[in-house]
């Protein structure tokens, strides 16, 4: 179904943007965001209850967006974003998927246009959908407030820690944020509901905005003794190259002596470097790769930190800013060293297995 067809449906019909983007199939997000398959939110705009459903393909590209209010017409799109607006331009909705973040945002004229209750849901770790409700209001000073319920249900092994709601009021610009953190199997993802009210300045009219963001870096941290970490055997990381179709993987294991061994790679030509307690793999001619190292906790345990580098494709700088900087192999134009600054020391953690994020 195209946007043109959907706009001719009745108001009760869904407005579906099924995106066909020839020549622009990027790997838009990292595997942790792509694995959610997307998310759904209801926004308290245009009288309340506007539903936005986002679908992601396995490479993290936006493969479809459904908006329940046909007065919101699609105005622009790519594999990483879709924009909608009303005919008068006073209400806008934007969906973005890039790197470590998936976000749905809305911009309206005043805070009163946002006040109300909405919902959010997503398959956060790919093992079960969780849902939450949020409420936007105004305090006695007319500044925004946000409250978020704890997401339920939580799949087995998933934990949720609510954050402390925050609010700011600076030079007429007021904001409120509520959210928290999901954890599962060494991965961490955060959910934030943010509202901001801006005064009109420099000829710009006043505005109020809502942004719902699910973020998660492609970093896994697992703690145990060397024997426990080694007993797990082969572990596998996978992601996509920037063509959006080529899946690559790195298989590795922890040895009982604390070294990390490469078992194999798939999907592309890989270059490997190993340290005393670390492993770095880069797929030649790309910005995509994987690293793993052991951190000595000096209490008889070690933390295995496994970090993937993918997503952020289609950006002009081509780098992976939110996941730790843009590093490249020596055959990639613009690369300064054989591993884009990681060099022989593996970006600071080197053979000692020390370091961190």
Q: What is the mean pLDDT of the chain?
A: 83
The CA distance from 90 to 20, in Å, is 27
- 315 vs 78: CA distance, rounded Å: 12
Q: What is the distance between the alpha carbons of residues 296 and 299, in angstroms, rounded to a whole number?
A: 8
CA-nearest of 81, 10, 70, 66 to 46 is 70
Query: How much is the pLDDT for 23?
Result: 37
Largest Cα–Cα separation, the chain: 66
pLDDT tens-digit map of 216-250: 999 999 999 999 999 999 999 999 998 889 999 99
Task: Give pLDDT tens digits for 108-128.
Answer: 999 999 999 999 999 999 999
The mean pLDDT of 301-314, rounded to a whole number, is 90
pLDDT at 289 over 90: yes
Query: pLDDT at residue 326 above 90?
Result: no
**Residue 117, CB-side half-sphere exposure with 13 Å CA sphere:** 3
Task: Reply yes or no on whether the pLDDT at 145 is more than 90.
Answer: yes
* CA atoms of 6 and 45, how far apart (whole Å): 20
Alpha carbon distance 64, 67 (integer Å): 10
How large a percentage of the chain has pLDDT more than 90? 70
- Per-residue pLDDT tens over the stretch 52-71: 999 999 999 999 999 999 99
């Amino acid at each position: 179904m195209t946007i043109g067809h959907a706009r001719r449906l009745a108001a009760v019909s869904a407005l579906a943007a099924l995106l066909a983007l020839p020549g622009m199939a990027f790997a838009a997000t990292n595997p942790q965001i792509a694995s959610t398959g997307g998310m759904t939110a209801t926004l308290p705009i245009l009288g309340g209850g506007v539903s936005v459903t986002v679908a992601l393909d396995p490479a993290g590209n936006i493969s479809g967006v459904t908006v329940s209010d046909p007065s919101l017409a699609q105005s622009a799109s790519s594999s990483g974003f879709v924009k909608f607006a009303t005919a008068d331009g006073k209400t806008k909705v934007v969906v973005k998927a890039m790197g470590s973040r998936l976000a749905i945002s809305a911009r309206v004229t005043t805070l009163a246009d946002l006040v109300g209750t909405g919902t959010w849901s997503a398959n956060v770790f790919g093992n079960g959908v969780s849902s939450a409700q949020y409420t936007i209001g105004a305090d006695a000073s007319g500044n925004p407030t946000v409250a978020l319920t704890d997401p339920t249900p939580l799949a087995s092994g998933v934990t949720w820690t609510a954050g402390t709601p925050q609010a700011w009021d600076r030079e007429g610009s007021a904001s409120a944020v509520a959210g928290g953190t999901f954890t599962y199997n060494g991965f961490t993802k955060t959910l934030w509901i943010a509202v901001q009210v801006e005064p009109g300045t420099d000829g710009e009219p006043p505005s109020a905005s809502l942004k719902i963001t699910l973020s998660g870096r492609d970093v896994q941290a697992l703690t145990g003794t060397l024997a426990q970490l080694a007993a797990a055997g082969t572990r596998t990381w996978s992601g996509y190259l920037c063509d959006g179709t080529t899946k690559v993987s790195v298989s590795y294991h922890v040895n009982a002596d604390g070294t990390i061994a490469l078992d194999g790679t798939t999907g592309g030509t890989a270059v490997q470097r190993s340290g005393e307690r670390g492993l770095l793999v880069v797929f030649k001619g790309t910005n995509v790769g994987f690293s793993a190292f052991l951190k000595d906790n000096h209490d008889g345990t070690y933390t295995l930190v496994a970090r993937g580098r993918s997503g952020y494709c289609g950006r002009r700088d081509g780098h992976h800013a939110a996941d730790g900087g843009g590093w490249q192999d020596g055959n990639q134009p613009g690369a300064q060293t054989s591993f884009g600054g990681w060099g022989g020391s593996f970006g600071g953690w080197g053979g000692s297995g020390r370091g961190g994020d």
